[in-house]
Every structure is written in C-alpha cells, then in structure tokens.
Amino acid sequence: MPCNCCEITDSAFGEKEAKSQLREYRRKGPAKQTRFILEAIRSLHLKNAELLDIGGGIGAIHHELLEDVASTATHVDASSAYLKEARNETARLGHTDRVKFIHADFTDVEANLPRADVVTLDRVVCCYPDFHRLLGAAARHSQRALALTYPREAWYLRIAWPLMNFFQSLRKDPFRVFMHPISEMDGLLQREGFQRVTLRRLFVWEMALYQRAAD
C-alpha cells in the first residue's frame, strides 16, 4: 500500500515526547506493558539471542534485554527523535557496539534485514494502517518468538480511539491511531507458523507472546 507513514510517524513522535519518555524511563524503568513483554521473553530462557525491535522508541526493550537475554539488537524506527534518545541511552549503558539503529519504516527496509530470534513491537501496530503488511513482515523475521502490545478491543477504547482521531483531524494532523482486530492479527500470526503462549491485559494495552509452533 503506498503510504507516507514514515514521514507522518516521524513528525508525530517528536523531540519533546522522546526526551520526556527517556526521562520517565530513567526515573521509573520500563512502562508496565513493556515489562509484560520483558517478562514474557525472559520466560523463554533464551541466551545470546538476536533481537529485532520494531518501533522501539527510546529503546527500553533492548536496553533491558541486552543485560541477560540478547547479545545483539537491531532497532528500526520511523522516528528520528526517538532514535536519537535511544542512541544516547545505548551509549550511556555501554551497549553501542551491540545495537544497530535504522531510521525507516520497517516495511520499506525489511527485505534487506536478516531474521532475528526474537521480534518485538511494543505499541507499534496501533500506529500503522496496514497491520497485515507490518505484522506479516515482522513474523517472517522471527525465528523463535514475537511479542507485541496493542490496544484492547474494550468498549471504552472503541469510543476513545475514534475520538482521538477526530481531534487529530481537527488539528489537521495526519497521524492516526488504529485498533486492529485482534482475532485477525492472531490468525495472521498463526498462518505464519506461530502460536500464542502468553496473553496479559492492562486497562488499555494487551500483550501477546507468540512462539514458532515447532519450538
């Protein structure tokens, strides 16, 4: 699907937001839904894994998993401001040699990227219009596990999401949030050879961990 998603996302996730998220991460550690992803991946007891973090923002997932689970990480993000903060934190933690940063829409560059053991998408599918394209490509890049968070199909979010988009349109901001059908995302991942092994919920976010069925 032709789409200028990367430009739209780049301007939606700007410098102020990125700096404030990094401050928050340094003060309090990973957000709750991110902690669900970290706990789910740690439950697999992987060592020296290669991580692909799509839309990793300030990089919380690789900052954490490089401590015990992952040996290397690739962080692909459409936001240059988030990548800048992620790089700063990566350097502060002494992880620079182990992380590759790519500023792009993952669907534009995925053909040139190798597969990883673990793929993560924390609050990313809800920023992208075509979940088939994004999640399909993410699944094909995972050799063992894929963890993602997305908005729940709760009645209050079915009201809130269109309202957020309505205010975005009033502001003439082209960025939109998406509530993709969970059963369709699950079906896609099953067709790509995954089965869901963990499901956890917060008020807004749901976290699902998938493993390759043969594992």
Ligand X SMILES: C[S@@+](CC[C@H](N)C(=O)[O-])C[C@H]1O[C@@H](n2cnc3c(N)ncnc32)[C@H](O)[C@@H]1O
Angle, alpha carbons 155-158-160 (nearest 5°): 110
Residue 58: other Cβ atoms inside 10 A? 30
- The whole-angstrom separation of Cα 201 and Cα 188 is 20
CB of 68 to ligand X, least distance (A): 20
Name the helix (H) or strand (E) containing 166: helix 155-170
CB of 78 to ligand X, least distance (A): 4
Look at the block and give the residue holding tokens 């908005």: 151
Look at the block and give the residue holding tokens 């990367």: 6
79 binds ligand X (CB under 6 A): yes
Burial class (CB in 10 A: 0-12, 13-18, 19+), 96: exposed
74 binds ligand X (CB under 6 A): no
* One residue of 46, 134, 147, 207 binding ligand X per CB under 6 A: 134
The binding track of 149-168 with respect to ligand X, each residue x by CB under 6 A or -, is: --------------------
CB of 199 to ligand X, least distance (A): 18
78 binds ligand X (CB under 6 A): yes
64 binds ligand X (CB under 6 A): no
* One residue of 72, 74, 90, 107 binding ligand X per CB under 6 A: 107
Q: Find the radius of gyration of the CA atoms of the chain.
A: 16
The binding track of 31-60 with respect to ligand X, each residue x by CB under 6 A or -, is: ---x-------------------xxxx---
Look at the block and give the residue holding tokens 């939606």: 12
Strands 142-151 and 49-54: unpaired
What's the start-to-end Cα distance of the chain, in Å?
33
- The whole-angstrom separation of Cα 179 and Cα 161 is 7
Strands 70-77 and 99-103: parallel
The binding track of 80-99 with respect to ligand X, each residue x by CB under 6 A or -, is: --x-----------------
* Residue among 127 and 145 whose Cβ is closer to ligand X: 127
* Residue among 17 and 214 whose Cβ is closer to ligand X: 17
CB of 101 to ligand X, least distance (A): 11
131 binds ligand X (CB under 6 A): no
* Residue among 26 and 213 whose Cβ is closer to ligand X: 26
- Contacting residues toward ligand X, per CB under 6 A: 5, 9, 13, 34, 54-57, 76-79, 82, 105-107, 122-124, 127-128, 134
